[in-house]
Structure 1
Amino acid sequence: MTDSASRRGALLALAVLTLVWSYNWVVMKQVLQYSGPFEFAAVRGVLATLVLFAVLALRGETLRPPPLKPVILLGLAQTTAFQSLVQWALVDGGAGKTAMLAYTMPFWLLLLAWPLLRERPDRRRLAFAALAGVGLIGVLQPWHGLGANSSALLALASGLSWALAVAISKKAFAGGGVTPLRLTAWQMLFGAIGLCVIALLVPERGIAWETPFLWGLAYNAVLASGLAWVLWALIVQRLPATVAGIVSLAVPICGVLLAWALLGERPDAWEAAGIALIAAALVGISRRAQ
């Protein structure tokens, strides 16, 4: 596959991923009416693991695990830590603001990619990252407060764990011999084990197995945790880590726009300006990847 075709495939995957993950912030908030955060994350992780391994079997790919050390670390960072922190943050935090705080991932990644991956960002990339950072401030409007401090800190920590997961993924792909689907399935398995341990240790109310919860669970298991993480692994494989991180900001932007269109949550002037700045940064960083 040529470099241009590979990049087009990654950008198409990003478009699908954006739609799935953008809407899922609303879904993850709604399911908390029927379940505790950790039980939902654990059930979601187990079902997503089953889906991914079923797809592996149907495609005829080997079920042999990749090198265990990186895949276990990836599972703990990308699935156990990220999913539990995000779901916990949503208990007291709004879906939109939690999403934006979780998507500080690209800025954590700029700090981690240099020492861990030897991807030294150039001045142009740093400038676009700074522009996106200014836009993020406009959307979050910290001078009004970020809501519950604990929720904000949990969401920021989820962004850090996700950035670490991206760095681990890049190292795993650098070794060769592992496909995005196989890496995603095995990291999901180990991550789901971690989520189950947390759910067993933390007391929560029982799950109300009602229709809205079942639909939300299916959406998360098949699309948001199954298909979407495979697409994300493909994006990380084909794009530089810092580029993948910055362009992923399309997800919270689309989430804000979906909330505006479907829920009537119209952005104010600061939020609109922030979205415009982040969009400009996305265009710039994407063109830089050519």
Structure 2
Amino acid sequence: MTESASRRGALLALAVLTLVWSYNWVVMKQVLAYSGPFEFAAIRAVLATLVLFLVLLLRRETLRPPPWRAVLLLGLAQTTAFQALVQWALVDGGAGKTALLAYTMPFWLLLLAWPLLRERPDRRRLAFAAVAAAGLLLVLQPWAGLGGLRSALLALISGLAWAVAVVIAKKAFADGSVTPLRLTAWQMGAGAIGLCLLAACVPEREIAWTAGFGWGLAYNAVLASGLAWVLWALIVQRLPATLAGLVSLAVPLGGVLLAWLLLGERPDAAEAAGMLLIGAALFGISRPSRT
């Protein structure tokens, strides 16, 4: 596969991922009416693991685990920490704002990828990152208060956990011996164990097994936690880590818009201006560099 075709495939995967994850911020907020955050995160991760291993069997890929160090570290960062923190943040935080705070991941990644992956961002990418940061600032409006401080901090830390996971995944793909599907399945299983232990230790409300909860669980297990994390692993494999992180900012934009339409979380003028800036930065940063 040529570099151009690989890049196009990664950007197509990102488009599908954006649709799935953008809507999932609404789903994750709504499902909290039926369940505590940690039990829901644990169940979705267990079901997603089963789905991913079923796909591995259907594709007749080897079930041999990738290096255990990468599996355990990635599972802890990407599944246990990120999923638990995000779901906990949504208890008190709005879906749109929580999505945007979690997606500070690309800016954490800019700091981590340079020393850990030797990916030094060029001036163009730094410029677009600055535009996106300005847009994020307008959306967050720290001068007006962030609402629940605990929710904001949890979402920000989840972004850092995700950035760490990207670095781990990038290193795991370095020798070309691990496929995105196999790494995603094994790390999801490892992370699901951590989420189950967390859910067992934290008292929560009893789950209301309704049709709404079942729909939210199915959407998360099959699409948002199964298919979507495979697509994300493919994107990380094919694109530079900092580029993958920055173009993923399309997801919280979609999350904000869907939270507005479906949950009544209407952005004000500053938030709308911020979204336009982030959109412009995404368009610029996703274009190939001129040689």
- Counterparts in 2 of 1:219-234, with a 5 A limit? 219-234=219-234
Q: What CA distance in whole angstroms lies between the structure 2 residues aligned with 1:178 and 1:140?
A: 38
- Counterparts in 2 of 1:56-135, with a 5 A limit? 56-135=56-135
Amino acid at match of 1:82: F
Amino acid at match of 1:285: I
Q: What CA distance in whole angstroms lies between the structure 1 residues aligned with 2:264 and 2:48?
A: 32
Contact 1:51 1:226 in 2 (8 A): yes
- Counterparts in 2 of 1:5-16, with a 5 A limit? 5-16=5-16
Equivalent residue number for residue 205 of structure 1: 205
Equivalent residue number for residue 45 of structure 1: 45
Does structure 1 residue 196 correspond to structure 2 residue 196? yes
Distance change >3 Å, CA 47–CA 163, structure 1 → 2: same
Q: What CA distance in whole angstroms lies between the structure 1 residues aligned with 2:242 and 2:46?
A: 30
Amino acid at match of 1:204: E
Q: What CA distance in whole angstroms lies between the structure 2 residues aligned with 1:203 and 1:274?
A: 39
Unaligned runs of 5+ in 2: none
Shift in Å, 1:262: 4.2
Q: What CA distance in whole angstroms lies between the structure 2 residues aligned with 1:284 and 1:205?
A: 45
TM-score by length of 2: 0.97
After superposing the two structures, state which structure 1 stretch, 120-129 or 95-104, moved more. Answer: 120-129
Shift in Å, 1:256: 2.0
Runs of 4+ deviating beyond 6 Å: none
Does structure 1 residue 183 correspond to structure 2 residue 183? yes
Contact 1:66 1:178 in 2 (8 A): yes
SS of match in other structure, 2:121: coil
Q: What CA distance in whole angstroms lies between the structure 2 residues aligned with 1:284 and 1:95?
A: 26
Q: What CA distance in whole angstroms lies between the structure 2 residues aligned with 1:257 and 1:224?
A: 18
Q: What CA distance in whole angstroms lies between the structure 2 residues aligned with 1:221 and 1:88?
A: 18
Equivalent residue number for residue 275 of structure 1: 275
Q: What CA distance in whole angstroms lies between the structure 2 residues aligned with 1:109 and 1:177?
A: 24
Q: What CA distance in whole angstroms lies between the structure 1 residues aligned with 2:22 and 2:15?
A: 11
SS of match in other structure, 2:120: coil
Shift in Å, 1:144: 1.3
Q: Deviations over 1:7-65 (max 9, x none)?
A: 11101100100000000001001111111100000000000000000000000000000
Equivalent residue number for residue 242 of structure 2: 242
Distance change >3 Å, CA 264–CA 205, structure 1 → 2: closer
Shift in Å, 1:146: 0.7
Contact 2:38 2:84 in 1 (8 A): yes
Amino acid at match of 2:173: F
Equivalent residue number for residue 284 of structure 2: 284
TM-score by length of 1: 0.98
Contact 1:243 1:289 in 2 (8 A): no
Query: How many pairs does the alignment contain?
Result: 290
Shift in Å, 1:176: 1.5
Shift in Å, 1:193: 0.4
Q: What CA distance in whole angstroms lies between the structure 2 residues aligned with 1:24 and 1:280?
A: 23
Shift in Å, 1:264: 5.1
Unaligned runs of 5+ in 1: none
Amino acid at match of 2:217: L
SS of match in other structure, 2:155: helix
Q: What CA distance in whole angstroms lies between the structure 2 residues aligned with 1:20 and 1:262?
A: 15
Q: What CA distance in whole angstroms lies between the structure 1 residues aligned with 2:125 and 2:264?
A: 34
Contact 1:29 1:91 in 2 (8 A): yes
Shift in Å, 1:283: 1.2
SS of match in other structure, 1:174: coil
Task: Compute the RMSD of aligned alpha carbons.
Answer: 1.1
Contact 1:82 1:162 in 2 (8 A): yes
- Counterparts in 2 of 1:140-179, with a 5 A limit? 140-179=140-179
Contact 2:95 2:255 in 1 (8 A): no
Q: Alignment identity in percent?
A: 82
Equivalent residue number for residue 19 of structure 1: 19
Q: What CA distance in whole angstroms lies between the structure 2 residues aligned with 1:266 and 1:30?
A: 17
